[in-house]
Amino acid sequence: MAKAKAPRANIGMAVFGNEKNKNPYENIRENMAEDNNENLPDTAFRCPHCGYPVTEEMTYCPNCGYKLRQK
């Protein structure tokens, strides 16, 4: 573990400097999209921006907010 220069600053290094606990939410959208793909037919449409399954009626992607079509 890295040590801070000030003696009392090490408490922050113990909490925030730990490499084992990387951001657990880093790839949550990709993981959710992969989980939702299991129950969809092969003919389902996908968002061109993120690949999330969408329907023809949708105007925006519910995953990334990409505008799917013009009105």
Query: Which tens digits make up the pLDDT trace of 6-64?
Result: 666 556 566 555 556 666 667 676 666 565 556 655 557 899 999 888 988 899 999 99
Looking up tokens 């389902």, which residue turns up?
Answer: 44
Look at residue 64 in the predicted model and tell me its pLDDT.
94
Containing H/E element for 36? helix 28-36
Look at residue 61 in the predicted model and tell me its pLDDT.
93
Q: How many Å apart are CA 3 and CA 7, to the nearest integer?
A: 9
Q: Which residue ranges make up each domain of the chain?
A: 8-54
DSSP character string of 4-19: -SSGGGHHHHHHHS-S
Given a contact cutoff of 8 angstroms between Cβ atoms, the answer to whether 9 and 18 are in contact is no
